[in-house]
Amino acid sequence: MHLLILLVPLVLLVAWAPAWWVRHTMNKYSRPEDRYPGTGAELARELLDRHGLQHVAVEATRDGDHYDPATRTVRLSPNNHDGRSLTAVTVAAHEVGHAVQHATGYAPLRLRGSLVAFTRYGQRIGAWLLVAIPVITLLARHPAPGILFFLAGVLSMGLAALVHFLTLPTELDASFRRAMPMLREGGYLHPPDYPHAQRILKAAAYTYLAQSLMSLLNIASWFRFLRR
């Protein structure tokens, strides 16, 4: 019992700290808001055009910064799409990095797309199980087997954690083999900003790791529920 009391705060810290660091880094370099003359969207458009990717669109979204290979679209959050901060232009370059990966047939990006599609199906099955378990219990007049709860939890949350872990190399490649060279070669940043941009690119890459750790925390909570 005492060990559990010590482990719970440690698990919470390990899972929460990366997410806090990512948010802190992004927010820190979002000021000043007028650091650059062009917006994140404008830089994304220029970088895409320079790489012959005129067919790739740039759009604002409220679903988080990402590149959508299905529609060939770089999607930026409103602050990064319209913002002129160091964070805005650096995150835009990171997402363009994914578009360049796609254009060059970068295999890990294709694998991620397949895993994401598989994960969506698994999460749907898990969600249906969560809905069906109470019905099964009511009809059978007996508690549903624990294996169903376990399977529902793994499908709903475990697959997401796995995908987030597996996508980390793809994110690091987009940040440091694509975005940073593009920013340096084009001289897009003020010289003192490059070390800060590296921190932002690291945060952009580790966003998925933070999400994975949070998913694992959710799974741990789910398992504690099953043991009651």
Per-residue b or e along 42-57, where b marks 16 or more CB atoms closer than 10 Å to that residue's CB: bbbbbbbeebebeebb
95 labelled catalytic: yes
Starting from the edge strand earliest in sequence, which strands make up the sheet with 66-68, in order?
Answer: 57-60, 73-76, 66-68
What span, in angstroms and rounded, lies between the C-alpha atoms of 136 and 152?
A: 14
Beta strand 66-68 with 73-76: parallel, antiparallel or unpaired? antiparallel
Looking at 33, 42, 95, 185, which residue is catalytic? 95
What span, in angstroms and rounded, lies between the C-alpha atoms of 38 and 33?
A: 11
Instruction: Please say whether the beta carbons of 163 and 112 come within 8 A.
Output: yes
DSSP SS3 for 58: strand
What span, in angstroms and rounded, lies between the C-alpha atoms of 190 and 168?
A: 28
Beta strand 73-76 with 57-60: parallel, antiparallel or unpaired? parallel
Would you please indicate which residues are annotated as catalytic (active-site) residues? 95
